[in-house]
Structure 1
């Protein structure tokens, strides 16, 4: 096509944001545009098979003694070492997990800045798309249009009448909101101020208070179903565009093995996934596997990067990675950590959820699904065996909920967020090119 764009994606180095960008990028590629991924180096050779150009960055000095890493290995190791913090209340995690996570991400942004400037000069994108929770100034200070994606819970876009992001607090109980924000400021102000000053030194605008990533003046896209959204309490300006889901079309079809597909009358098919990072907590994963192994239900387990350390029961099948978007339509119930990808995909396919949040925005997703009646939130490290098993049986037997979820899923799929999001990026790029003379 004569008006083909070059679109450069820079996702955070975890499966959720990267898969989100893969889905959008593939639609743009199929429309004739050139798509470049400035992803973190551990994604090498995992993006080019889709037809994307890989022009990768290091977020830290390479270790000459390290072997080949799993995609996102840095965060897999980080989560494994930090897992004991997840049993704490969210307000206590601000100092022990959230702030160190921001600090690590900021270190990566500083290290990657000169590399990104070189990549942008080399690739000459018309539009750059960032899906991250900290800013990379190089992405927004060049000649290209800048689009921000929020593939975390949209409480990341703050407001006075919504609960603080990362808190997991109820929408109808404000009693803890002020104390949470006070603790956020105490633990994050110094980190934020230093990062804001550095971003301005690189030519970027000042950051809004408490925010570590810039919004775009052209278009900001967030991925969240209308049925879960907060816009009634926190309206957004016209630069913000909700896409209800962004389910990639790049995964192979999943075939449920016969031993799991053939199940006793009255039993259900359950999908268990704590995400690529959450499954690094092998103790929690094994407890869930052992408990579900006592039921008559059949279970498909996304085993994660430590799959060789897990022992599955006879009523289960699983693998280190699974094609979630073709698997999920076939199950009856999803047990999840509440990551934004899995939460929105479960809603997209109309599946009730049991949510066991671990970190970051997972508490917010779990609370939102729970308070709106689309699933059950349980305390991840202190639930009783009967709580989990009872929730599984109750949700599988709730015909009214399953019918309601099926209708919700049909509505979300009809709104086709994946192609809507790609269309927004395409429009921004073409308008930017028209304004700047080709």
Structure 2
């Protein structure tokens, strides 16, 4: 048995990064290590039952307590709901109206909670610190423990001259479009980045890479993307980086197909619809998808999101606010998604084709990558015609060659066992540090 370590995780408050960290942490917990989960306060009571030490962190001045339990991830669910009109804009326009404000909100949170994170680190004295976020929290890299960065967004979060710029959703085959987007990113983000970099250095951390909000020179870097979809030939990474081809958490409960969708006509496929915990907050979009898909002969399992009570389902659908996604996807024939990195990589892990309707952030590049590699179809989220969606469903279901290709690819991805690859890296980093101070 390895020497027991204390491993601290600090994910972004949204479900995607938190679930990503839960998957890794559960493996490490089962190996006998102590897991300290620093989490934004709306996660209260959600992590301790999994066998983790739960340390709560406010990202802003707490609001007066309301009746009932706060939803986990409510900080970002509220932010996304307020900002949803921006998702209808071209990605280059979202740089000023959505991407920059999102970065600023994260930066404000980092500045606010720096003392609390230092307090948690001083209390638990971790052997390794793991962050899954898109901005640095300096307390994590100045603690004396080695720092591991996780990129659980698309790998284009790590930019390079040979790949499309992050958040753009631009084609890999048309670099002529990239420069104007990069210039707009510089215009809309440089002053904010310079201020953040100065603050990071004032906290005792090293300077950040040019126009990047996270460091690269870390004890280790992990990212989640299957080799078959990766950009390594166009954007090589140094030896500090380890690819987890997938990271499918094993903590989800089982999912028994309800009779309404289990018993279906022989010509009816079973399809999973999810816009993620944040995209599901767009009630009008969810209602439109349900209406259009409700006209087909197929059966659907719908992850309705935080506004579940406002999304009634027709007779060919079942659903709930949240579902054990990693147990649902293996049972379906097709996934209709927002293109979040977890859902995209989980669909490929299980060999399922995708229809992707991106809303924000890295969802555009995941949608573009799925489409340009032929793993599925990207549709314009707010301007698709009803027939475009239903035709895409029928085309993917009828493509037996694609289904065979994805079945084989999924088996290969599962065989590479990315979850344990990532856990091994974190464990090795912590063990080296423990040995060096022994």
TM-score, normalised by the number of residues in structure 2 = 0.99
Matched residue SS, 1:264? coil
The alpha-carbon deviation at position 261 of structure 1 amounts to 1.1
The alpha-carbon deviation at position 18 of structure 1 amounts to 0.2
Counterpart check, 1:48 vs 2:45: no
- 2:63 aligns to what? 63
Matched residue SS, 2:323? coil
Counterpart check, 1:254 vs 2:259: no
Matched residue SS, 1:39? strand
- 2:28 aligns to what? 28
CA distance in 1, matches of 2:93, 2:145: 40
> Counterparts of 1:277-316 in structure 2 under 5 Å?
277-316=278-317
The alpha-carbon deviation at position 215 of structure 1 amounts to 2.2
- 1:235 aligns to what? 236
The alpha-carbon deviation at position 51 of structure 1 amounts to 0.2
Matched residue SS, 2:175? coil
- 1:210 aligns to what? 211
Asked if 1 retains the 8 angstrom alpha-carbon contact of 2:142 and 2:205, the reply is: yes
CA distance in 2, matches of 1:145, 1:4: 16
- 2:225 aligns to what? 224
- 2:333 aligns to what? 332
Asked if 2 retains the 8 angstrom alpha-carbon contact of 1:270 and 1:331, the reply is: yes
Asked if 2 retains the 8 angstrom alpha-carbon contact of 1:347 and 1:408, the reply is: yes
- 2:127 aligns to what? 126
Asked if 2 retains the 8 angstrom alpha-carbon contact of 1:130 and 1:148, the reply is: yes
Counterpart check, 1:14 vs 2:14: yes
CA distance in 2, matches of 1:216, 1:18: 23
Asked if 2 retains the 8 angstrom alpha-carbon contact of 1:148 and 1:216, the reply is: no
Matched residue SS, 1:38? strand
Asked if 2 retains the 8 angstrom alpha-carbon contact of 1:90 and 1:166, the reply is: yes
Matched residue SS, 2:176? coil
Asked if 2 retains the 8 angstrom alpha-carbon contact of 1:338 and 1:356, the reply is: yes
The alpha-carbon deviation at position 351 of structure 1 amounts to 0.3
Asked if 2 retains the 8 angstrom alpha-carbon contact of 1:146 and 1:216, the reply is: no
The alpha-carbon deviation at position 217 of structure 1 amounts to 2.7
Asked if 1 retains the 8 angstrom alpha-carbon contact of 2:358 and 2:364, the reply is: yes
Q: What 5-or-longer segments of structure 2 have no aligned partner? A: none
CA distance in 1, matches of 2:243, 2:2: 29
- State how many pairs are aligned: 437
CA distance in 2, matches of 1:314, 1:392: 19
The Cα offsets for residues 60-107 of structure 1, whole Å up to 9 and x where unpaired, read as 111114343101101111111111110110000000000000000000
Matched residue SS, 2:129? strand
The alpha-carbon deviation at position 397 of structure 1 amounts to 1.1
Asked if 2 retains the 8 angstrom alpha-carbon contact of 1:85 and 1:96, the reply is: yes
- 1:382 aligns to what? 383
> Counterparts of 1:39-438 in structure 2 under 5 Å?
39-67=39-67, 68-437=69-438
Asked if 2 retains the 8 angstrom alpha-carbon contact of 1:304 and 1:321, the reply is: yes
Matched residue SS, 1:175? helix
RMSD: 0.8
CA distance in 1, matches of 2:171, 2:2: 51
CA distance in 2, matches of 1:257, 1:223: 32
The alpha-carbon deviation at position 432 of structure 1 amounts to 1.1
CA distance in 1, matches of 2:151, 2:386: 35
The Cα offsets for residues 14-50 of structure 1, whole Å up to 9 and x where unpaired, read as 0000000000000000000000100101101100111
Asked if 2 retains the 8 angstrom alpha-carbon contact of 1:226 and 1:244, the reply is: yes
The alpha-carbon deviation at position 2 of structure 1 amounts to 6.8
Matched residue SS, 1:92? helix
Matched residue SS, 2:412? helix
TM-score, normalised by the number of residues in structure 1 = 0.99
Q: What 5-or-longer segments of structure 1 have no aligned partner? A: none
Matched residue SS, 2:56? coil
CA 1:31 to 1:216, structure 2 compared with 1: closer, same or farther past 3 Å? farther
